[in-house]
A and B are shown apart, each in its own frame.
Chain A
Amino acid sequence: MIDRRDDSDIEIERRFVPKAKDINEDIAWAQINKDVLRSMERPRPMYWVIFAASLALFGFGVFCEVYQYQTGLGVADLNNPQVWGLYIATFIFWIGMSHSGTLLSAILHIMHADWRKPIYRFAEAMTTFSLMTAGLFVLVHLGRVWQFYYVVAYPNERWTWPNFNSPLVWDATAIGTYLTSSIVFLYFGMIPDLAICRDTATGFRRKFYWFLSLGWQGTDRQWANFRVAYLTIACFLIPLAVSVHSIVATDFAVSQQPGWHITSFPPYFVAGALYSGCAAIITLFIILRYVFRFEEYMTMPILDKTCRLTFAIAMVWTYLNLIEYASVWYGNDVYAKETLIYRATGLYAPYWWAMNFLGSVVPFMLAFKSMRNNLTIMMVVSLLLNMGMWLERFMIISPTFAHGYYPWTWTSGWWPSWVQWGIVLGSFGWFSMLFMLFCKIFPTVSMYEVKEMVYHRSEARKARNL
């Protein structure tokens, strides 16, 4: 995939290691700095193509949202039973995306899985930006977005509080906390790298990184404090991440609608979230590897491990999915069963079956090493998995509205309008625009952790060889 070279690249490309090979343990630390910092200067032209496309999509989304804001939600073709449409479906999707950053950076950090080190930074960024995107949908779907702050518990002269019984308030709180924490975690983990940037940058950039690096000198005392703090935040973040998607699940599980009122929703949602997040990491891994010439750091063995992890999570998700079907099928709730049958046979049946196929069958591609080693296939598979996960959320929302308790309001052919699609596409543009900007401004590969990894590995090899 990556053998085109131009003159400026020659030096780097020459040292290029074969695909199947893991990171070069003998690589000089200065070289790591150089390679990573280089990514912040001159990426491949594809970067600009992606950035321009994101910007265009985002612009279209903004146009749709402004139109909807001015005219009313009627332009989205939402109606009485179908009150949420794609907005909430896509909201869950983005919340789900945010989970794998935490998985890679925090959970695997605690478990000392060192292969995460070159890729956790962008995964963490993905977490932050997908949360920001999800937050947008909370706003976009509101009828009176200009009054969104009513959800916040702020003191006011009338002593009106939000309704603490409402899962939406839990949502707002949980997402707000998670977003703040993951920004802190992302930023905190970047400080040593920002200091490296500061040391090499010139002009206003130097000031920028100087400000952000908070006087990092790399002293022993700083490193010791950093380790403790980083671990603390990681430990704090893990239950938070699990709780966030559990709470999003309670939006549905706590409600009364058939097909939503299911006890197993929180773990099911968390599994789905990790699943779609891992699939998204594969996608971004392949893109970044190419765009920023990270072939040497984002190596095939890392992709291989990520794919295996994704496969495992896919199987967990499949299991929980089947559990959900089974508990509805064998349960006593006739309405929920009716909704399940409707999903499989009604208007949305093609999407439901596609969701099951993409979510449970396609991941078997990840079980084969030959597949895992093919970047093109993995790109396609990861996109398909995410499409499956998006469909899963769509299948939670629309069929229940289309076939709820009240037969009079069963819809026969509801479909979102172009405004909804525009805003959904715009959200992908917004996410990808933010992400691409981040990659250009901040070191996407954690330099100090890669150094650690290389150091530990070479030490380990030495020890073995002795």
Chain B
Amino acid sequence: MSGSNTIDRRDFLRVLGISGAAATLAGCGNTAIESGVEKVQSYVQPEDFVVPGVGVYYASTCAQCGSGCGVMGRVREGRILKLEGNTHSVISGGKICALGQAAVQVHYNPDRLTTPLMREGGELKPTTWDKAMATLTARLGGESTLKGAQIAFLTGEVSGHQKALIGNFLDSFNSTHHVVYDALSTATGQAASKAVLGAAQPLLQIDKATLILSFGNDFLGAGVSPVHMAAQYARFRKAPRGTLIQIEPRMTLTGANADRWYALKPGTEGVFALGLAHALLEHGQFAKTVPAPIVAALKEYDKETVSGITGVHADAIPHVAGMLMEHTPSLVLSGPSAEGQVNGAQNAAAILLLNVILGNAGKTLQGQASHPFPQLIASAGSYAALTQLNNSMASGQCQALLIAGSNPIFSAPGFLPFAKSMEKVPFKVALVTQVDETAAQCDLVLPLHSPLEAFGSHVSSYQPRGVEIGIQQPLMEGLYPDTRAFGDIVLDLLRQREPKNYKAFPDYYAYLKLAITKARPVFKSKLSDDDFWEDALRSGVLQLDAAPTALKTNASVVVVSKPEKHVIDVRYPFYFVPSVRADLRDGRHANLPWLQESPDSLTTIVWDSWVEIHPSTAAEMQIREGDILEVQSASGSVRAKAYLFPGLQPDTVSMPLGQGHTAYGRYANGMGVNPFKILNPLFDAQTGELATHATRVVIKKTGEHELMVKDEGATNLQQGRKLVATVAADQAELAKETSHVVE
């Protein structure tokens, strides 16, 4: 580091979170709300595109999940009214999901935090920004002596320049403790994929596949980049129509769209996959794809053994194997129900092995294009990181904790004493738009701008085509005078920590603008810096064409152990599958009334939690819909109404995640229960990640009964009416409809 007023180039790039590469620029179009000034214009002297009574669209990026979809916000009379997909965005393709639509309710939520809160006498009380920042500065400002592990920053999935700033902020303490926690982390699957396919998150070319075999992968629902996947799926379904086979213990939204759906016992996905591998390898054409020891070990996976373990009919194995051989290229996917097991990584590896055998790598599976700014890419959250943080807090090592976009007190499993450990941290700061369970335990709660009021950038960990950086621009002026942008707060602190590096930036806007314009050469733009920035705001995305990379598969890492039946603990006879709703996710969106009232796709239940139980099991136990059941695991119990659900392995019960909030505003509080709290401390043997789907439970009837709040009426069958007509694929002439293909 050099003199007080200059920054050297390397440091500068570190500050901005960028460091070079090369490609071309794409996209332009609408108008930008900003011309360098963060003010909405008065109607006395309006911009010519601001006409009272006429909605104007501005591009931005959705921050509801980590997919980074480009969105367009409709702004009228200075108010953001609705979000649509941004057609410039490769990720969203001009489309938007329910979750994205509901972002306006994050912004206009009546329970939003509008002033800073500070703990005084054990209670959180409203305070002023001056006082709040004074407290913050005293602890974490230039004078702070905290070092290394003494400070930690806990976030959910975060990317772009916000992530870079967090990193830089922690750097100034010599800390690397940016803890990313995602209750629905796919770390196990990513580890397996890295080992077998050579990429943690390979590109799924769904539209190129003629057959998809998915082991519980909910790519249409709560998976990665669902909007993009849905568009691909639509192309997959057009002539020549691809076939989707789904194998899972509890029907997901993707399973609901399958041509054939198989129920199997949770945790036996690997066994089934190896059974398929065995069936395939009996045909000479695949023999060379896997090492001989594996072929030998697979001998034991004959269809009767596999059927006995998985509970799937023995004929299914040669049938599915036959389908896989007939249809090339195919695509085999593993999902949370396979991965969230004590043998999760092993399951996933066995499933992905099928791709190797079938030679799908390079056809339907490819490596993501290399990213010019890898440090902006969202880092994957993991349970292991949270445990580490918990230990650090419990041991008293952690002295200051900042939390943004993560709510572990709600979403961490009940056995992890996170709340207790947190009490030992002397200074806890939450940066939130609305107080949640974790923020309620902090000492200082800072009210954030909603994503619709703040600048930012998003770089999804899943880049479907080339490289896309989503630019998030404010779609309206701050709704409340006393909220601030996340970037501004971190930048404030950084200015105090490293004045020489950061005093050039009056606010996060200036920082982001400079960071983006400095990246201009990478996008090979011939525009001036200002025009480049304007252009980025107009189109909402920065894009770079880049070819997918090749995958290096490695079949030898797959461990083929002897096929073994599950040992059943008679005290807990049922498998417990927590299901993830595409809208509520891990519960962070339970405060949005549209999503609460949006019927769950498969059960049509609203505003509540429920216990899914197979009708045949329910008949045996004499359980009717609406009977209140107690679901008890070794770690705890919850009570919810029974719902008879046919898409379920009969030895399994399932509950949706996301409900059961106690301090998350009027729309979330008191709705349902939180199944995170009954998960058992079981971990994947290889990665140490939480085995979310491995808990076993016992069901008890309480004798109470309540009306189920659902959209479905007295019947869920079509009763002989032609409502949803189904036609066999070989009867439909899809090829004649091809001009109706989604562009």
Which A residues have a C-beta under 8 Å from some C-beta of B?
81, 334, 338, 402, 405-413
Q: A410 near B721 (CB under 8 angstroms)?
A: no
B72 CB → nearest A CB, Å: 33
Q: A334 near B720 (CB under 8 angstroms)?
A: yes
Q: Is B713 an interface residue (CB 8 A)?
A: yes
Which of A334, A405, A411 sits near B714, CB closer than 8 Å?
Answer: A411
Q: B713 near A411 (CB under 8 angstroms)?
A: yes
Q: A408 near B720 (CB under 8 angstroms)?
A: no
What separation, in Å, do the CA atoms of A402 and B714 have in the docked complex? 9
What separation, in Å, do the CA atoms of A409 and B714 have in the docked complex? 7
What separation, in Å, do the CA atoms of A451 and B323 have in the docked complex? 98
Q: B721 near A405 (CB under 8 angstroms)?
A: yes
B717 CB → nearest A CB, Å: 7
B711 CB → nearest A CB, Å: 8
What string of 1s and 0s marks CB contacts (under 8 Å) between B530-547 and chain A? Answer: 000000000000000000
Q: B720 near A410 (CB under 8 angstroms)?
A: no
A338 contacts across to B, CB distance below 8 A: 719
What separation, in Å, do the CA atoms of A81 and B720 have in the docked complex? 20
B714 contacts across to A, CB distance below 8 A: 402, 410-412
What separation, in Å, do the CA atoms of A406 and B723 have in the docked complex? 9
What string of 1s and 0s marks CB contacts (under 8 Å) between B708-743 and chain A? Answer: 000011110111110100000000000000000000
- A347: nearest chain-B partner, CB-CB: B714
B640 CB → nearest A CB, Å: 20
B715 contacts across to A, CB distance below 8 A: 407-408, 410
A81 contacts across to B, CB distance below 8 A: 713
A-B contact pairs, 26 of them (CB 8 A): A81-B713, A334-B720, A338-B719, A402-B714, A405-B721, A406-B721, A407-B713, A407-B715, A407-B717, A407-B718, A407-B719, A407-B721, A407-B723, A408-B712, A408-B713, A408-B715, A408-B723, A409-B713, A410-B713, A410-B714, A410-B715, A411-B713, A411-B714, A412-B713, A412-B714, A413-B707
A408 contacts across to B, CB distance below 8 A: 712-713, 715, 723
Main secondary structure on chain B at its contact with chain A?
loop
B723 contacts across to A, CB distance below 8 A: 407-408
B713 contacts across to A, CB distance below 8 A: 81, 407-412
B721 contacts across to A, CB distance below 8 A: 405-407
- A412: nearest chain-B partner, CB-CB: B714
A229 CB → nearest B CB, Å: 57
B113 CB → nearest A CB, Å: 32
A352 CB → nearest B CB, Å: 17
A405 contacts across to B, CB distance below 8 A: 721
A407 contacts across to B, CB distance below 8 A: 713, 715, 717-719, 721, 723
- A335: nearest chain-B partner, CB-CB: B721
A412 contacts across to B, CB distance below 8 A: 713-714
A306 CB → nearest B CB, Å: 44
- A407: nearest chain-B partner, CB-CB: B719
Beyond the given A408-B712, A408-B713, please list 12 additional residue pairs across the A-B interface where CB-CB is below 8 A. A81-B713, A334-B720, A338-B719, A402-B714, A405-B721, A407-B713, A407-B723, A408-B723, A409-B713, A411-B713, A411-B714, A412-B713
B361 CB → nearest A CB, Å: 44
A258 CB → nearest B CB, Å: 11
The 4 closest A-B pairs by CB, nearest first: A412-B714, A410-B714, A410-B713, A407-B719
What separation, in Å, do the CA atoms of A411 and B719 have in the docked complex? 14
B725 CB → nearest A CB, Å: 15
- A414: nearest chain-B partner, CB-CB: B714
B719 contacts across to A, CB distance below 8 A: 338, 407
User: Which of B713, B718, B720 gathers most chain A CB within 10 Å?
Assistant: B713
B712 contacts across to A, CB distance below 8 A: 408
What separation, in Å, do the CA atoms of A159 and B457 have in the docked complex? 58
A400 CB → nearest B CB, Å: 14
What string of 1s and 0s marks CB contacts (under 8 Å) between B686-723 and chain A? Answer: 00000000000000000000010000111101111101
User: Which of B718, B719, B723 gathers most chain A CB within 10 Å?
Assistant: B719
What separation, in Å, do the CA atoms of A412 and B626 have in the docked complex? 13
A161 CB → nearest B CB, Å: 33
What separation, in Å, do the CA atoms of A405 and B721 have in the docked complex? 8
A80 CB → nearest B CB, Å: 9
What separation, in Å, do the CA atoms of A333 and B158 have in the docked complex? 60
A450 CB → nearest B CB, Å: 57
What separation, in Å, do the CA atoms of A334 and B712 have in the docked complex? 23
Q: Which B residues between 202 and 246 are near A, CB-CB below 8 angstroms?
A: none
A340 CB → nearest B CB, Å: 15
User: Which of A406, A408, A409 gathers most chain B CB within 10 Å?
Assistant: A408
What separation, in Å, do the CA atoms of A405 and B707 have in the docked complex? 24
A336 CB → nearest B CB, Å: 14
User: Which of B707, B714, B717, B721 gathers most chain A CB within 10 Å?
Assistant: B714
B601 CB → nearest A CB, Å: 14
User: Which of A407, A411, A413 gathers most chain B CB within 10 Å?
Assistant: A407
What separation, in Å, do the CA atoms of A405 and B715 have in the docked complex? 12
A405 CB → nearest B CB, Å: 7
What separation, in Å, do the CA atoms of A406 and B712 have in the docked complex? 12
A406 contacts across to B, CB distance below 8 A: 721
What separation, in Å, do the CA atoms of A190 and B581 have in the docked complex? 73
What separation, in Å, do the CA atoms of A411 and B714 have in the docked complex? 5
What separation, in Å, do the CA atoms of A407 and B719 have in the docked complex? 7
What separation, in Å, do the CA atoms of A136 and B707 have in the docked complex? 34
A103 CB → nearest B CB, Å: 41
- A338: nearest chain-B partner, CB-CB: B719
What separation, in Å, do the CA atoms of A402 and B715 have in the docked complex? 11
- B713: nearest chain-A partner, CB-CB: A410
- A334: nearest chain-B partner, CB-CB: B720
What separation, in Å, do the CA atoms of A207 and B339 have in the docked complex? 95
